[in-house]
Structure 1
């Protein structure tokens, strides 16, 4: 009997831990779905004029409508999107007359990077957004090539001489023909908690199976030795 104690403790403990991790991901899934529902309600509300003194805490995802001049001073953020492959987000300075903000126009393919447009007047509908895309692994911008690797609103604003406020376009009229607008939608926000939960529960099942097999092997070996 003593030979079975350690495998049972090790196996049962491992299964409990893996089930707990899977259950935690289910809880996270529910939390994330509530967050995405709130984001959808916010992003689809009636657009308003920029309120002034905008901040991430008060105005994240706020829908706005405005008119101004899209300037040809822009930076390019390297990204990849489904079915299109690698390319760049085009973020421009947007002159509203009394102030300048950032405008995320959308996606261009890699070979369109050098096609700078002249400044033009446009009507814009979009959402205010301060993304969290910077971590310790994010490369520094390549200022020589004008390539960035994340939307760092504060630093891009310094580079382009605007307020640290960014509008992610939902519509631009008129629009650059080569740009694919990437509006903020809940579908674009990762929500992989169900897959994570499935992984943990699957590992728990495998762990339980391995434990039963180990117990069987110990029992089988002992029986053979007795025989």
Structure 2
């Protein structure tokens, strides 16, 4: 076999091994991510506890809590889009308790809907502590003066409503307000694209095999043609 064919085949096998290795690595990452999401789901659905004195973003992310208090009259609206209901707002209000106030994400209202009034009675909130990461490079700045919010910036919202910088995303508020649709915390919004990445690498590997076989065939044929004497 000519040296050129040997070098081409060796290089092709090395590249193929890289593609397959990256695909297998993405499958390992997929299993890891599925385990992480399963743990998050179990934590979200765990029995609720009392609100910690000093909630920690790392330790207490997704912690289910149950607390009671009075919904304050002030409210912030954070622009969002619901798959089923279209454009609307997350409604953020203070929950005033004996030992202070925290932020409560009460749920979704359509853009055209009026802002609902605060309940005239104490409520019980069942939800999860959350430190959302709503902002990316394309997210506009919040406009507190016009009550236009594009990201749930906890410190900024707490400053606007005079609460502790703690946010509970409600699963259920009792008594409920039928004009507000709860948007509880779930793991659905956490990216998990590892299967697509794995399939991409394996597809590249398959394509590389076809290209390599074709290239080797052409090289071998060209070598054979150059060695075959011509009959003039």
TM-score category (smaller protein):
0.7 to 0.9
> Would the aligned equivalents of 1:72 and 1:117 in 2 still touch at CA under 8 Å?
no
Q: CA, structure 1 residues 187+134, in 2 after alignment: closer, same or farther (shift >3 Å)?
A: closer
Q: Secondary structure at the match of 1:111?
A: coil
Q: CA, structure 1 residues 89+200, in 2 after alignment: closer, same or farther (shift >3 Å)?
A: farther
Residue 162 of structure 2 corresponds to 161
Residue 115 of structure 2 corresponds to 116
Residue 186 of structure 1 corresponds to 187
Residue 27 of structure 1 corresponds to 28
Taking the aligned partners of 1:107 and 1:70, their CA distance within structure 2 comes to: 16
Taking the aligned partners of 1:49 and 1:224, their CA distance within structure 2 comes to: 83
Residue 47 of structure 2 corresponds to 46
| Unmatched 5+ stretches in structure 2 | none
> Would the aligned equivalents of 1:72 and 1:116 in 2 still touch at CA under 8 Å?
no
Residue 96 of structure 1 corresponds to 97
Taking the aligned partners of 2:105 and 2:7, their CA distance within structure 1 comes to: 58
Q: CA, structure 1 residues 126+199, in 2 after alignment: closer, same or farther (shift >3 Å)?
A: same
The superposition leaves residues 105-132 of structure 1 with CA deviations (integer Å, 9 ceiling, x where unpaired) of 12222323xx122222321100111123
Deviates most, 21-30 or 160-169: 21-30
The superposition leaves residues 135-183 of structure 1 with CA deviations (integer Å, 9 ceiling, x where unpaired) of 4454322445533333222222222221111101110122332322121
Larger radius of gyration between Structure 1 and Structure 2: 2
Q: List 4+ stretches of structure 1 deviating above 6 A.
A: none
> Would the aligned equivalents of 2:95 and 2:103 in 1 still touch at CA under 8 Å?
yes
Deviates most, 200-209 or 130-139: 130-139
Structure 1 residue 13, shift from structure 2 partner: 3.5
Taking the aligned partners of 1:9 and 1:143, their CA distance within structure 2 comes to: 63
| Unmatched 5+ stretches in structure 1 | none
The answer to whether structure 1 residue 87 and structure 2 residue 91 are counterparts is no
The superposition leaves residues 25-55 of structure 1 with CA deviations (integer Å, 9 ceiling, x where unpaired) of 2222222222222222222222122121111
Structure 1 residue 208, shift from structure 2 partner: 2.2
Residue 13 of structure 2 corresponds to 12
Deviates most, 5-14 or 48-57: 5-14
Q: CA, structure 1 residues 209+125, in 2 after alignment: closer, same or farther (shift >3 Å)?
A: same
Aligned residues: 225
> Would the aligned equivalents of 2:116 and 2:179 in 1 still touch at CA under 8 Å?
no
Structure 1 residue 101, shift from structure 2 partner: 0.8
